[in-house]
Structure formats: C-alpha cells, structure tokens
Structure 1
Amino acid sequence: MHEPFISTGHGELAKIGVVVSHGFTGSPESMRPWAENLAKQGFSVNMPLLPGHGTSWEQLSRTPWQQWYAGAEAAYFELSSRCEQVFVAGLSMGGALALRLAEHHPVAGLALVNPALTAADPRAKLAGIMRYFVKSVPAIGNDIIKPGMDEHAYSRTPVAAVHQLNQLFKDTTKHLDRVKAPTILFRSTVDHVVPDSSVTAIQNGVSSKDLRLVQLSHSYHVATLDHDAPTIFAESAAFFREIAGV
C-alpha cells in the first residue's frame, strides 16, 4: 500500500527520468497512477516513500524536514546515475520538495500539482508554539471529489511535523529565484488544503522563463486521484517530451 515505485523505462524515453513525490502525511498511493502512467509510456521513474510517512503520525512527528528532502534527493541522484535528463513531479509538499531540488540541482523541468508553500489552515502558522501543548489535529488527507478514492494519508496530523513543514516552506521560498527550470503547474480551482498564495509565491519568485499554469476545474487538492487526473497525466508527459526534445 505504501510501497515506493521504480521503473527502468523502455525505448527512447528510458533516458528521461522523473522523480515523483507525494505530499505531507500522504503516501505514494496519491501518486501511483501518475507514476505508473509515466512508466507505461517508457519514462524511467523513481517514486520514493518519504521518511516519516507510511508508518504512523507519531513517527512523522519525530522526522525533520531535511529527511523528507533527502528522500526526494536520493531518488533524483538514482535517476541521474542512469538518465540523461531528470524531471521532478510533486503534489502539495512534494511540490515544495521539487522546487527545492531545482534550487540545488540541474533539474530538467518541474510538474507541480497544487504545490504547497503556504497552508490554508491559519493554525499552521502557530505550530511552533502549539506543538508543546497539542500533539495532533484532525487529518488533512483525501481532499478529493471523486468517490471511492483514498490516498492512504495519516488519520491525524502531527503538530510538530507541521512546524517542520513551515521550516521547509520558509527555506524553499527564500531561494525560489534559483529555480530556472521550465515548469508546468496544475492548480485546482477549489483546494481546501493549499491556498492560492502558494501559487502566487511561485509565480512571483521563480526565474523560470517557461512557466505554464493549467487550471483543474473538477478536482480538489489531491487532483492526481481526482477527475482531472487524465489531464495531469497527458499534459505532464507531453511537457516532459517537449522539454527533453524527444
């Protein structure tokens, strides 16, 4: 259920790698259909289970954000060892990790789905203080319109981890001008988890000369499992092919 996914690719696309990163308190299940779709087309794919995830929210509460990033970075290094170009696809916090990778490494391009650099819940800003008094708050997972879909996120959100998330957001936002890679950003018109301020921060902060925005009108936050998933899959693959020149 929480297993990572790796594909060696095939054909002319095997030399093109894609790191696929899930979001905060989530699991690879939120991204598995996308990862498998890319692999079926021939792309080399590495979708890690980020540290602190796929176990318990208590474990996540003890995991610093640097370990989440290290998990995504290890996937990037693995693909870089066998691919000519490496793209990064991320959902929510996975979008923040993707942006940070592009700040520090020669990423070929980014595909971001409702990327998070801010949080909709105003309490998130107080997590640094709240963590001393409150261990967890209600879950943020499964913000999905489509019936029967489950991203297998934690049943509770650890406040200490929200504080770590804030630190990741702060660190990533501070260096957005280093992001020069072509970027396609998929944004749900209704998202109960990540506010529009995240998209605004990216649009105003990155140095990418090629920044495309695709609106998703039939999905909530976890759009990779929602009605607009086919649009994400098709347009991201076309984007990767175009930028890679394949």
Structure 2
Amino acid sequence: MTTDPLASPLRIAAQPELTGGRRVGVLLSHGFTGQPASIKPWGEHLGALGYAVSVPRLPGHGTTWQECNTTTWDDWYGELTRAFDALCLENDAVVVGGLSMGGALSLRLAADHADQVSGLVLVNPAVATRRLDVKLLPVLKHVVPSFPGLANDIKRAGADERGYDRTPLKAIHSLMRAWPPLVADLPKVTCPILYLRSTVDHVVDEASQPLITGKVSSRDVTVVTLTDSYHVATLDNDAPRIFDESAAFVARTTAA
C-alpha cells in the first residue's frame, strides 16, 4: 500500500540539557482519517525545546480510506500504546496529547496508565456526538462503504492536513463504539489536563467537552478557547498558541 510521503512518523530524541537534566517525552496522536502531517509542526516545536517527541502513523491512515475501513479502534490504540511504552522506557516522564480522535486515544491511555501519564493535552477531542444519523451506522456500513470526508476543517487559507476525502463507515463505527466504554472510564483519568477548544468546529460538536471535563478525576484542568481556528487547530491560526501553551504545560507537569 502506498503511503503519503508526508505521513511518515516523527521521532525526535530528548535533549535533557535543555530540560533541566530530565528526559521528558511527548506522545502526540493525529485524528481520524488524518495523518502525522496534521500535528508534525506541533511535535517539531516541542522537539526544538528538548523534549523527546513521538508522532506515530495510526494504521489505515496516510494511505487510502479503503484501507482505513479495514482497521479498528483496537488497531489505532495498539499503535499508540506501543509508541507510549517506548517513550516510557526512554524518559523520566511522558505527556500525551492528541487532536480529535487522537484526544480520545490519549484519554484512553491516561485512563489505562494513570500512574505513567504526567499530563494530557487535548485539542478538540471527540468522545461523543449529538448527530442522530450515527445510529444508522450499524446498517449503513454494510450498504455503503463511505460518506463525504471530514478533512481540512481549517480556517487558515492554504493549510492542508492531507486527510481522506471520504469517511470510511466501518472504521468510524468502530471509533464510535469505543466512546461509551471510554466515557465510563474517564473517572480513572487523574493527571493534569490542558484542554484546547475551537469556538467554531464543524467536525466535533459540543457534546464532548462537558463529558470530559465533568467526568475526569483530574483536579488540574485548564480550558483554553481558540477563537481563530476551526477543527484542525494544530494547522490553523491558533497553532502558535497551542504550541506555546502546551510547551508551558509540559514543563510544569514534568518538573522534578
């Protein structure tokens, strides 16, 4: 299967001389039907500050939507877990972050490994939706393979996340089936959270934020409003703010 040249994973080694002598890792996950290109600038910014950075390519992404339709939440979570385990072995502390579905995967990691995740950075995360048509997915996924795509909800002219132009229905049904168990386990999340939310988002509706902030056990939750970006805020006008806010958050939550 041919992979988009920009979809290669990003790995940056730690420079502890820049981070107070500690080796600090940051794991970042892209979203559904997206690919590493959507968050590489974020990872590169953190890497330049001395943090070890890992941006894996989730299975079925950065190739074709048809291949994505053969993968599931378990495949995506498995890949992210492998990258997380590698960072934990090499670093003194690890912060996890993600965009959209990447935020949901990050929350799953924080619930399953509460003692190892030092902090969470969530950008427009999705764990629920108010759309009623998703109730038809169990039937529709056997009738039609895809719907029009969700990619490139970006306000800044010329930006391109290089996502799919079609939404694979079997894959998105797998994603949405993973949401209820994740929401049930949100009280297991105890680490500090930086939650960055666009005021205008044409992909993720308002259902997720109150669920996440209301159910996690974290006592340190900071919500930052992004007023000049759409869904893919990591490539949008507010990207510099995301980079700066997350860098300060990583420094604070991983300090010895």
TM range (shorter): over 0.9
Match of 1:217 among 227, 233, 250: 227
Q: Which moved more, 1:10-19 or 1:64-73?
A: 10-19
Distance 2:67 2:122 in 1: 27
Distance 1:38 1:168 in 2: 30
**Is 1:114 the equivalent of 2:124?**
yes
In the TM superposition, residue 124 of structure 1 has moved relative to its aligned partner by: 2.6
Q: Which residue of 2 aligns with 1:189?
A: 199
Task: String of CA shifts for 1:1-60, please: whole Å, max 9, x gaps.
Answer: 101000112124361100010000000011010000000111001100001111111111
Distance 1:192 1:121 in 2: 12
In the TM superposition, residue 130 of structure 1 has moved relative to its aligned partner by: 1.1
**Is 1:95 the equivalent of 2:103?**
yes
CA contact (8 A) 1:121 1:193 kept: no
Match of 1:144 among 154, 165, 170: 154
What one-letter code is carried by the residue in structure 2 that aligns with 1:229? A
CA contact (8 A) 1:124 1:162 kept: no
CA contact (8 A) 1:5 1:45 kept: yes
What one-letter code is carried by the residue in structure 2 that aligns with 1:211? V
Distance 2:134 2:101 in 1: 14
5+ unaligned residues in a row in structure 2: which ranges? 1-5
Q: Which residue of 1 aligns with 2:46?
A: 38
Distance 2:130 2:237 in 1: 22
Give secondary structure in 2 for the equivalent of 1:81: helix
Distance 2:137 2:248 in 1: 39
CA contact (8 A) 2:65 2:168 kept: yes
What one-letter code is carried by the residue in structure 2 that aligns with 1:32? K
Q: Which residue of 2 aligns with 1:65?
A: 73
Give secondary structure in 1 for the equivalent of 2:142: coil
In the TM superposition, residue 121 of structure 1 has moved relative to its aligned partner by: 4.3
Match of 1:227 among 220, 226, 237: 237
Q: Which residue of 1 aligns with 2:134?
A: 124
Q: Which residue of 1 aligns with 2:11?
A: 6
**Is 1:202 the equivalent of 2:207?**
no
Distance 2:152 2:131 in 1: 16
Q: Which residue of 1 aligns with 2:86?
A: 78
What one-letter code is carried by the residue in structure 2 that aligns with 1:5? L
CA contact (8 A) 1:6 1:46 kept: yes
CA contact (8 A) 2:130 2:207 kept: no
* TM-score, normalisation: structure 1: 0.97
Q: Which residue of 1 aligns with 2:30?
A: 22
5+ unaligned residues in a row in structure 1: which ranges? none
Distance 1:137 1:227 in 2: 28
RMSD (Å), alpha carbons: 1.1
Aligned residues: 246
CA contact (8 A) 1:120 1:194 kept: no
Match of 2:184 among 151, 162, 174: 174
What one-letter code is carried by the residue in structure 2 that aligns with 1:110? L
* TM-score, normalisation: structure 2: 0.93
CA contact (8 A) 2:99 2:232 kept: yes
What one-letter code is carried by the residue in structure 1 that aligns with 2:188? R
